[in-house]
Structure 1
Amino acid sequence: MATTERDPILVEQDAGVVVITLNRPDKLNSFNGEMHRRLLAALTKAGEDPECRAVMLTGAGRAFSAGQDLSERVFEEGVAPDLSESLKKNYNPLVRIIRELEKPVLAAVNGVAAGAGANIALACDIVIAARSARFIQSFSKIGLVPDSGGTWTLPRLIGDARARALAFLAEPIYAELAAEWGMIWKAVDDDLLHVEARKLSAHLASQPTRSFALMKKAFLQSAVQTFDQQLDLEAQLQGEAGQTEDYRTGVSSFRAKQSPVFKGR
């Protein structure tokens, strides 16, 4: 489907990279129902597209995403909203597809990434951020609990003590400190963010992306398996990787002292 400047999601594809841009800049790319639907559809299509070998996710304007568009929350007197339904219908499918997509997903974070916006970014495989970017677990400011995987992702990235403090205090963490803590891959100068992100995305797309899919599966399973179970899984996945065309290409190129040309299969 073609996109226009008014669409809440913009999609472009170049040299194996699908670039998805959250496009509600006047609302700091906060999520409404239409953005949820369009982003999930774009990610699903990228996952199914054999020409897509990497995905880059970013935001238009001054923000990556400020999280939920609170103007969509309608309160009726005497009726408490069921926010669990919003998570089950909208946010959970988004973070699940990012984590499970058999392609590497890179987040290029510009400006603020708050609430669910922060945790959607942190669900990506690699996060690169502008130095002025900031990550905020803003949920406590409105009496809520971190969602979109935040309570799972943050302790594993930065440890339990820091994760609890960020959740309770809702203080902004700028990109350089986020990189220092291991929350993200790295911070770059603001004017270089998209140049660096596109360069890194293109590099990922040129690599043995089938092995990336297997790596993602291994990292996900490592959270729930014993060490012995993980060794068995690694053996299984390595067996699959060894059957790929890219493995044969990599070995033969190494022996010939040539740069490999991977096909992602």
Structure 2
Amino acid sequence: MSEYKCVTFEVDDGVAIVTLNQPEKRNPLSPLQAEELLAVLARVRADRSLRVLILTGAGKSFCAGANLDDMAAGGDRGKSLGESTADAMEALWNPLILALQDMPVPVLTAMNGGAVGGGAGLALAADVVIAARSAYFYLPSMPRLGLVPDLGGSWFLRRQAGRARAMGLTLLGERLSAEQAAQWGLVWLCVDDDDLRAESLALARRLAALPAHAALETRRADRAAGGAALAEQLAYEAARQRELIDRDCFAEGVRAFAERRDPVFPGR
């Protein structure tokens, strides 16, 4: 029996695989799911033998977003539904997205199906997204419910797809196919459904071979670039090279280049 109710956790040769596991409900967001995901992320962070994290879903859906039937039950403890929802976001979902963005290992989303509403933000919080051809993004929040995208959806969409596409997708609520998402830059690779797990593991192996600090350093450089003038980013790059070039990973990379072999970087 799984130790979790909403997710499963497995390890495949240094690759942590976390699966949203309520396929009969299309893997909806829930407080318990958030709590379990946070617990799993802490587990991956603590286990230094793990080099990559894959996040995927069971069944035909990656994540269906919020369960509106549960939300319709109303707020709790004298709070309005809006107050209760915002409190849950601040206590669980926002920390989850930030934790994914701060993981010491690369995070790969394997989108096996639809990523709806907040599920889109969850999928896009990864460093790399690979999608089955049947997968899609769908943001019904504004046209169907009068809400803004959440779980980082509004932030990730603008940064990755650009303002025009983010605005259109948010306001019109049209499904964005995996193939179109790849053309827009939201998805790294689109593969046949039957190949998703094998292709995800193959990509994870490549990510696992990176220097242990690769994910954190690359994310930080990307964030800095998003708000910096050119001169500021040039200074940032010089400051990071000042430190990184003196690390063992650079020396190993130079040796491997000279010896015409792939570098073998130490674990974290």
TM-score range for the pair, normalised by the shorter chain length: over 0.9
Q: CA deviation at 1:227?
A: 2.1
- Cα deviation, 1:12-64, whole Å, max 9, x if unaligned, reads 11222111111111111111111100101111221232111111100011111
- Cα deviation, 1:123-155, whole Å, max 9, x if unaligned, reads 110000000101011212122111111111111
Equivalent residue of 1:223, what SS?
helix
Alpha-carbon distance in structure 1 between the residues aligned to 2:140 and 2:152: 14
Alpha-carbon distance in structure 1 between the residues aligned to 2:214 and 2:135: 31
Contact kept, 8 Å, 1:104 with 1:209, in 2: the verdict is no
Contact kept, 8 Å, 1:113 with 1:135, in 2: the verdict is yes
Q: 1:146 aligns with which of 149, 164, 170?
A: 149
TM-score (norm 2): 0.92
Query: Following superposition, which runs of at least 4 residues in structure 1 exceed 6 angstroms of deviation?
Result: none
Equivalent residue of 1:209, what SS?
coil
Q: CA deviation at 1:79?
A: 4.1
Alpha-carbon distance in structure 1 between the residues aligned to 2:171 and 2:61: 23
Alpha-carbon distance in structure 2 between the residues aligned to 1:202 and 1:78: 47
CA RMSD of aligned residues (A): 1.9
Gaps of 5+ in 2: none
Aligned to 1:217: 220
Aligned to 2:103: 101
Alpha-carbon distance in structure 2 between the residues aligned to 1:142 and 1:157: 24
Alpha-carbon distance in structure 1 between the residues aligned to 2:4 and 2:125: 26
Matching of residues 110-259 of structure 1 within 5 Å: 110-140=112-142, 141-259=144-262
Q: Indicate the larger mover: 173-182 or 240-249.
A: 240-249
Matching of residues 14-53 of structure 1 within 5 Å: 14-53=12-51
Percent identity of equivalent pairs: 38
Alpha-carbon distance in structure 2 between the residues aligned to 1:214 and 1:175: 28
Alpha-carbon distance in structure 1 between the residues aligned to 2:128 and 2:235: 26
Letter in 1 for 2:15: V
Contact kept, 8 Å, 2:54 with 2:204, in 1: the verdict is yes
Equivalent residue of 1:161, what SS?
helix
Gaps of 5+ in 1: none
Aligned to 1:58: 56
Aligned to 1:75: 74
Letter in 2 for 1:67: G
Alpha-carbon distance in structure 1 between the residues aligned to 2:257 and 2:119: 41
Alpha-carbon distance in structure 2 between the residues aligned to 1:218 and 1:94: 21
TM-score (norm 1): 0.93
Q: CA deviation at 1:78?
A: 10
Letter in 2 for 1:231: L
- Cα deviation, 1:173-217, whole Å, max 9, x if unaligned, reads 010010011111111011101110011111111222313321111
